[in-house]
Amino acid sequence: MLAVGVLALVGTLQLARPLPLPITHTVLPRSSKVPGVPSPVPWPAQGQGAIAVPALGMVLASGTEQPVPVASLTKIMTAYVVLRDHPLALRTQGPAVTISASDQSEANAEADADDSSVPVQAGEVLSERQLLDGLLVQSANNLADVLARWDAGSVATFVSKMNASAASLGMSETHYVDADGIDARSVSTAADQLRVASAAMAIPSFAAVAAQPTITLPIAGTMTNYVRQVGSDGVVGVKSGFTQAAMGCLVLAAQRQIDGHQVLVMAAVTGQPGVDPLGAAARATMPLIDATAASLQEEPVTPAGGRVATITMPWSSTVVAGTVAGSPSVAVWPGDTVRRSMRWTRLRAGAPAGTKLATMEITGGSEHLSVPVRSAGPIPGPSLAWRLEHF
């Protein structure tokens, strides 16, 4: 009887023991390089040029860049700092700002100097959204200062915030001395301007303002966006700039269809010369966007059929496939590396088909996908004999 009891106890303990882990195998390589060669980029003959695809975290410049005046491109950072400090939900107006007598005097002086401005009156109340409309669409120098003082108490304090934000965005060749870009000592590069523009366009309220072909303000009435391309050929922003020191400067963002997926493509130029510097900037920028889009492609990250992994249980010779539903893909640039990793789930023996086996993490550029991997068939459980035999 003692022997029977011992055997029963051993059997009970054996059946209660945790099962060994499955043998897992990832079918796909951990990394793969995207084939192909990018299309030639038609860099401007003079000045600077840069291209960016925010989804890829990619910024390419025409060459070694030196900081140069960027005129009203400065206002991209002005709007970015304001929206970071005072977030504005879509289709809302935000806080109200009362125009002072000095604000009116500044607007009058800007108009007399033939600088870009929006007329205002002392006591007039404008919302944060209206001020941003005038800042980005009409490039109003006076509204840049109104926003700066509203945000930080003084333009000088606000400019310090601008420079701190530039540093945090990796804009190592940028230094601001004003909020509107009139001062030629506010300098940057085309690549740096794409860094702040990419960050700003990721803010839905900024993107909504920049995408407007026209705006209407109480006193000024209806005004047309200085970026004439907005609203056509997929262009959704963002900002132009001109001074005699800076010449023609432009940052454009456009939506492009890449293998059926919409991708934001951006380009910037500075220092475009000629009798029509802003026109020259536009003629230099659109080819950069189109050439960039021509090189982009959607790279499938799983093979046809979706089989990405296998598992084998130690008690069975049955191989269970791990599959991914659909056809996930990432937007990539020729020469990019697509990386994959697998986070395995604790599995339950005897689980049915469709059980989640793992999560596959996929990275291409700065785009990241988390894709569930599920069993194509049931996961076999161990037999009673196997459990009793394997101590």
pLDDT tens digits, residue range 72-84? 999 999 999 999 9
Residue 209 has pLDDT above 80, yes or no: yes
- 223 and 141 belong to one structural domain: yes
CB 107 within 8 A of CB 119: yes
Nearest CA to 53 out of 172, 197, 169 is that of 197
Mean pLDDT of 85-113: 94
CATH number at residue 123: 3.40.710.10
Has residue 277 been placed in a domain?
A: yes
Q: Domain span at residue 185?
A: 48-295
**End residue of a domain, out of 295, 313, 332:** 295
Residue 12 has pLDDT above 90, yes or no: no
Q: In the predicted model, what is the mean pLDDT of the chain? A: 90
Q: Given the residues 62, 75, 117, 375, select the one marked as catalytic.
A: 75
Tell me whether residue 239 is one of the annotated catalytic residues: no
Nearest CA to 381 out of 354, 352, 346, 359 is that of 352
Nearest CA to 229 out of 192, 258, 267 is that of 267
**Which pLDDT does position 188 carry in this prediction?**
98
Has residue 3 been placed in a domain?
A: no
Give the confidence band of 18 by pLDDT, cuts at 50, 70, 90. Answer: low
pTM over 0.75: yes
Residue type for 111, please? Answer: A
Has residue 5 been placed in a domain?
A: no
Residue 13 has pLDDT above 50, yes or no: no
- 28 and 53 belong to one structural domain: no
3-state SS assignment for residue 214:
strand
- 316 and 213 belong to one structural domain: no
CB 94 within 8 A of CB 88: yes
Mean pLDDT of 109-132: 94
Question: For the chain, how are helix, strand and coil distributed in percent, rounded to 5?
Answer: 30, 30, 40
Has residue 113 been placed in a domain?
A: yes
Give the confidence band of 97 by pLDDT, cuts at 50, 70, 90. Answer: very high
Q: Which residue has the tokens 């990432």?
A: 330
**Which pLDDT does position 304 carry in this prediction?**
67
Has residue 2 been placed in a domain?
A: no
Least confident range of 162-176, 225-239, 292-306, 350-364: 292-306
* CA–CA–CA angle 152, 158, 160 (5° rounding): 130
Question: Does 15 or 62 have the greater pLDDT score?
Answer: 62
Mean pLDDT of 242-248: 97
**Which pLDDT does position 19 carry in this prediction?**
64
Mean pLDDT of 260-272: 94
**End residue of a domain, out of 252, 269, 295:** 295
- 205 and 272 belong to one structural domain: yes
Residue 219 has pLDDT above 70, yes or no: yes
Has residue 289 been placed in a domain?
A: yes
Residue 144 has pLDDT above 80, yes or no: yes
Residue 9 has pLDDT above 70, yes or no: no
- 172 and 263 belong to one structural domain: yes
Q: What's the structural domain count of the chain?
A: 2
Alpha carbons 20 and 76: distance in angstroms, whole number: 58
Alpha carbons 213 and 230: distance in angstroms, whole number: 6
**Which pLDDT does position 379 carry in this prediction?**
85
- 245 and 344 belong to one structural domain: no
- 223 and 328 belong to one structural domain: no
Give the confidence band of 1 by pLDDT, cuts at 50, 70, 90. Answer: low
- The first and second tokens of residue 150, run together, are 């509203």
Tell me whether residue 139 is one of the annotated catalytic residues: yes
- 336 and 272 belong to one structural domain: no
Give the confidence band of 7 by pLDDT, cuts at 50, 70, 90. Answer: very low
Q: Given the residues 62, 116, 117, 139, select the one marked as catalytic.
A: 139
**Which pLDDT does position 77 carry in this prediction?**
98
Give the confidence band of 233 by pLDDT, cuts at 50, 70, 90. Answer: very high
User: What confidence tens digit (pLDDT) does each residue in 317-329 have?
Assistant: 888 888 998 888 8
**End residue of a domain, out of 295, 317, 337:** 295
Has residue 319 been placed in a domain?
A: yes
Alpha carbons 174 and 188: distance in angstroms, whole number: 4
Q: What percent of the chain has pLDDT over 90?
A: 63
3-state secondary structure 101-130: HHHHHHHHHHHHCCCCCCCCCCCCEEEHHH
Alpha carbons 324 and 360: distance in angstroms, whole number: 9
Has residue 99 been placed in a domain?
A: yes
Residue 138 has pLDDT above 60, yes or no: yes
What does the radius of gyration of the chain's CA atoms come to, in whole angstroms? 29
Alpha carbons 197 and 251: distance in angstroms, whole number: 8
DSSP secondary structure letter of residue 348: -
CA atoms within 13 A on the CB side of 280: 19
Q: What percent of the chain has pLDDT over 70?
A: 94
- 160 and 25 belong to one structural domain: no
Residue 86 has pLDDT above 60, yes or no: yes
Residue 347 has pLDDT above 80, yes or no: no
Q: Which stretch of DSSP H or E encloses residue 173?
A: none
**Which pLDDT does position 22 carry in this prediction?**
79
- 308 and 286 belong to one structural domain: no
- 261 and 310 belong to one structural domain: no
Nearest CA to 375 out of 339, 323, 302 is that of 323
- 379 and 259 belong to one structural domain: no
